[in-house]
Amino acid sequence: MNFIQNDLVTKLQTNERYPLTDEHPHEECGILGICAPGEDVSRLAYFGLYALQHRGQEAAGIAVSDGQKLDMYKDVGLVSRVFNPSNLADLNGFLGIGHVRYSTFGSSMISNVQPFMIDTRFGTIALGHNGNLVNAGKLRRELMENGIGFSSTSDTEVMTMMLAGADGEDWFEHIRSCMRKWQGAYCLVILTRESIYAVRDPWGFRPLSTGKLPGKGHAVASESGALRTLGCTAIREVQPGEILRLSGEDLTIRQGIPPAEPAALCIFENVYFSRPDSNWDGMNVHQIRQRLGEQLARETRLTADEVIPVPDSSIPAAIGYARASGIPYNDGFIKNRYIGRTFIEPTDSLRKLGVALKFNVINENVEGKRIILIDDSLVRGNTTGALVGLLKEGGAREVHVCITCPPIRHPCFMGVDMGTYEELLAHNMSEEQIRDMIGADSLYYLSLDGLLKAAGRPTGYCTACYTGNYPIDINGALSKTRFEGSRVSNCG
């Protein structure tokens, strides 16, 4: 093994870097906008963000307007920890935007928590962003050359500052002029004193939907499942390049810039990110994941006694695999869904147990069995290897690992934290080496053709993490913390 492979094995054995989390690519962010005349929008936003919590667990924020002034509260932590009846009561208004964050650009610090709020010559605005600009460095330098300072290391602040100085007679024109300069993935909610604007990039990287609230007004959210939580009807996806305005009872839709051809929807929304009850690209995510499992069964044709998922995101795929293969589905793991949310740090001895703190094996279900273990991705290998070990300790005779997507060999520069080339197992090791490293009896990945077939169409998705073929120029797109070194001087 080379140095990188030895380093990866060490991480697998000690779980030092990812002790209590899984190895999946981390979610981007979740955004929400609500225009609800006569309603207490902060409480609606709270429950809407709860429905988007899976997209970001590092920080949360809500900004509101009562038609006269904007107020905001944000902090690091889960939605349930950031907000309480007292601080929600201080957020008075019928217009509101919300954000849950995972740091895809800029590290986890309070100055990077969204929404961002600033005063502009057009009035005060607040902005929440899901995605990642690949040309943020160039745009930031141009702003600094014009005397603009920054208080954070996030590309979202770059977008906010650009909007503050944009050309045009109204916010539709301000936004449109900036869209012509932004390169990369962005879904935005922008709060002004009197309206909310929602924006989706022309490639359509990230999902965004809008719907009509049960009373007056409309809402927009990263996923349709959050809109249904709020009771929305007439839900439609915001199309690539569109700008929406939510004002009073009205919803105005304009094409900001033309949609890109072909589109570049993130295929990983189907594989892992989106909630199973959400619709993405006109299809239900749960149904797509079942088809991923069915397709994987057709490609692998394994003989085994049971199909077991890694809970929870792989359950639909395991159901599909079992249905297509005729091999019985069963539960092999019980997941402790709260271990990652405790304030109490584990002792060193507990920390070394790693995923054993998060998963327990049902020994009676696996003892003496040939197991097909279904998971949706294999990125760094630490969790998968530990799960295979737990199954074998529980008495499993064989463990065959089946992944519902192709090997992830390339980083994402469009807002998903998949790691660097050095961290990506499939970039540095052969499939046989990975199989031996995780201790599986065999290892299978779904083919790219099979993935696209299950997703419903052969083109229109971004598959760069598998192929290295990025839909836009990524020159200059570096690490998510590349602005960190200049932060002090920017703040004065």
Tell me, what's the pLDDT at 316? 97
Angle at 222 between CA 216 and CA 49, to 5 degrees: 70
The pLDDT assigned to 372 comes to 98
CATH of domain 284-467: 3.40.50.2020
Do 29-264 and 284-467 have matching folds?
no
pLDDT the model gives residue 457: 87
The C-alpha atoms of residue 162 and residue 165 are separated, in whole angstroms, by 5
The per-residue pLDDT for 249 is 96
Strands (E), 192-238: 196-200, 209-212, 218-221, 233-237
Structure tokens at 286: 């749960």
CB 188 within 8 A of CB 196: no
pTM, to two decimals: 0.88
Residue 304 to residues 244, 337, 401, Cα–Cα distance (Å): 51, 29, 12
pLDDT tens profile 137-169: 999 999 999 888 877 778 888 999 999 999 999
Low-confidence residues in the chain, pLDDT < 50:
1-21, 104-108, 479-492
Task: Tell me the fold of 29-264.
Answer: Glutamine Phosphoribosylpyrophosphate, subunit 1, domain 1 (3.60.20)
SS3 assignment, position 171: helix
Among this protein's residues, is 187 annotated catalytic? no
Residue from 29, 35, 402, 405 carrying the catalytic annotation: 29
pLDDT, residue 352, reads: 62
Bridge partner list, 31: 99
Q: Tokens 């208004």 identify what position? A: 93
Looking at residue 26, its pLDDT comes to 55
pLDDT of residue 341: 58
- Domain locations along the chain: 29-264, 284-467
The answer to whether 79 and 46 are in contact (CB under 8 A) is yes
CA atoms of 74 and 152, how far apart (whole Å): 14
